[in-house]
Amino acid sequence: MIRLTDDEIRFFRDNGYLIKRGVLDPDLMSEARDSLWANAPDSRRRDDPDTWIGAWKPEDESDDPKSLRKGTRWNFRLLGGEEFMVNLLPADPNVHGMAEQLLGEGTIPVPTRMRGIYCTFPYGDVEKKGYGCHVDAHPFHLGVVGYIDDVPPEGGGFCVWAGSHKTFYQDFHSQYKMEPKDCHEEHRRQVNDSPHTDCYGSAGDIVFWHHRIGHMAGHNYSRQIRQAVLCDYRKRDLDTTQDEPPQDDMWRDWDGIRSLNERDNG
């Protein structure tokens, strides 16, 4: 059983994200990679890394939301509801158990699907691009990004602006919906001027992230395809808490963090 230490929970509280290494099941990761390649257009060949570089050919681009292929991205959502995909991430007892350590035991139903496998292909030999954060628009509490293949530094890993969850939590009229206050754009500019953290890692590593942290999918200057699986955890009471304004205690809905704070404050 893999669980978070108190120090890891404090790290998440203070930084808005946490990397946990070597969590995902190797057999399920392998099944996910196989299914990805089974659905790849012929122009990308698993045994020929040269075919992984650069944007899709126009004829291979797709607007289908279940398999969105544009530029150097491929959001493959088709199998997100398959049992092996759900077991790979949201229903994994370690991942779900750690989420409950943060949000409270028994408070998070196991999602019936994950977002899918999100790929960023290697950019190839291009000039380096800028970084800019966003906050996700849909209501949830805790996001998880898992890597099903190695993601080297500057290899398209999930990028976060550590600590920005504290600013952005107050930037919306409600706790969980996308109703930004006027100050949000200015705050976003300020956060963008600060350094980001590249959450690179190995196959099996996961990143927990707070729903209001500024983040983006990193640019991929490696030779690898960034292959990430994503899921969102929502507490059972999200329907009633999502319209409430930001609370004085931003951790009010996070039972695990609240109790840690109470213990720390004696």
Give the footprint of Fe ion on residues 128-187 (CB under 5 A): 136
Q: Do residues 242 and 161 touch, judged by C-beta distance below 8 A?
A: no
Min dist. Cβ of residue 46 to Fe ion (A): 27
How many other C-beta atoms are found inside a 10 Å radius of the C-beta of residue 41? 15
Site string for Fe ion, 95-134 (x = CB under 5 A): ----------------------------------------
Query: What CA–CA distances, in Å, run from 158 to 14, 60, 213?
Result: 18, 25, 12
Min dist. Cβ of residue 134 to Fe ion (A): 6
What is the radius of gyration, based on Cα positions, of the chain?
Answer: 18
Min dist. Cβ of residue 215 to Fe ion (A): 6
- Measured from the CB atom, is 32 or 159 closer to Fe ion? 159
Binding-site size for Fe ion (CB under 5 A) equals 1
Min dist. Cβ of residue 136 to Fe ion (A): 4
- Measured from the CB atom, is 99 or 260 closer to Fe ion? 99
Which H or E run includes 33?
helix 26-38
- Measured from the CB atom, is 83 or 185 closer to Fe ion? 185
Min dist. Cβ of residue 38 to Fe ion (A): 27
- Measured from the CB atom, is 97 or 132 closer to Fe ion? 132
In angstroms, the CA 8 to CA 6 distance is 5
In angstroms, the CA 41 to CA 98 distance is 36
Beta bridge partners of 134: 215
Min dist. Cβ of residue 217 to Fe ion (A): 7
Residue nearest to Fe ion (CB): 136
- Measured from the CB atom, is 40 or 217 closer to Fe ion? 217
How many other C-beta atoms are found inside a 10 Å radius of the C-beta of residue 33? 17
- Measured from the CB atom, is 8 or 136 closer to Fe ion? 136
In angstroms, the CA 259 to CA 254 distance is 9
Q: Torsion-angle region of residue 104: left (phi > 0), alpha (psi -120 to 50) or beta?
A: left
Which residues contact Fe ion by CB under 5 A?
136
